[in-house]
Amino acid sequence: MTVPLSKKLLSQINILEELENLNEDELFEHYKFTADKGQELLRIDKFLMDRIPNSTRNKLQNAISDGHVLVNKRIIKANYKVKPLDKITVELPYPPQEIELIPEDIPLNILYEDDDVIVINKQANLVVHPGYGNYTGTLVNGLIYHFEHLPETTTPNRPGLVHRLDKNTTGIMVVAKTEHALSHLGKQFFDRTTERRYHALVWGDLNEDQGTVEGNVGRSLKNRKVMDVFPDEDYGKKAITHYKVLKRFGYVTLIECKLETGRTHQIRIHMKHLGHPLFNDDEYGGDRILKGTTFSKYKQFINNCFTILPRQALHAKSLGFEHPTSGKWMQFESDLPEDMQTVLQKWEVYMENRIKE
């Protein structure tokens, strides 16, 4: 059972969900148009409003900003004017559908709980919320089993959620137990006053000990299931990741990332954009040998590491936020999961042996 939100909180929660870009399991309705030979110059949003049923200017402008509207296979700006014979393709997300949430006895590693919040250390291979293709077996199913009353968000199937982690990213998450906590935490994420630090193992030896990656993150134009970085500020959403080197292993590097924004796959795509994809990240090219030797012994070593760590090497190491009731700053830390620790130990030994040789 979930507790419905009061109307006065809806706008605040909408802000939160826009920030966190949670709708990554969307289905899209597709449209294709070819402008007539005699088409007069007309703004793209007005052109589409006359042709797509039940569309609104705001919805279309968001679709243009997110790169879901292409003209002649190219990204366009919101002020683009349609010309004769332009070929236009549109993808609009269907509104999310309510799914019956079934409580499931899924083990949760709870680090802290009070009347307002729950802080958990999420395990790998656990989807955070139900969506297309994942209707059960999610963190939310486990949460409503252990905690009957969680506040609803404006997006169905996500009671209590104020942020998320990818299925195979481990680490700390905070969940709201009350409407007040949901609103208060949501505003902190929107205002970027939370502190989130991740540890990641990436391919290659970074040139600098620390740095910042800036680049708008949006849906890839080639594969809508993954993200990409775009230099054009009119496409995607602003994303900033600060990183620093923790340990170098020659062919791979352990880094810490501090998020200034919270976009879908942000660290994963930013590090790929930097030329250092996450170790064994199968969606962003890290699941093959990118650095090192061609010796069969080395290949076997990497394959063994992939077997031990069958996911991207990313862990949400720490999370800090202001408690929604007491106002006290709360800081939580978590150890690296066993699979990442084991792989790092193997790299330690490998590099020691390589030095001896």
Rounded CA separation 222/224 (Å): 7
Cα–Cα distances in angstroms (integers) from residue 143 to residues 109, 110, 171, 259, 355, in the given order: 11, 11, 16, 26, 48
45, 86, 116, 166: the catalytic one is 166
Q: What token pair was written down for 111?
A: 């680090």
Cα–Cα distances in angstroms (integers) from residue 158 to residues 167, 253, 270, 312, in the given order: 15, 35, 26, 24
| The total number of residues written for the chain in this structure | 357
- Contact present, 69 and 88 (Cβ < 8 Å): yes
With b for 16 or more beta-carbon neighbours within 10 A and e for fewer, the 122-142 pattern comes to bebebbbbbbeebeeebbbbb
H or E segment at 256? strand 252-259
Q: What is the DSSP letter of 95?
A: P
166 is catalytic: yes
Q: What is the DSSP letter of 8?
A: G
Rounded CA separation 23/8 (Å): 23
Active site residues: 166
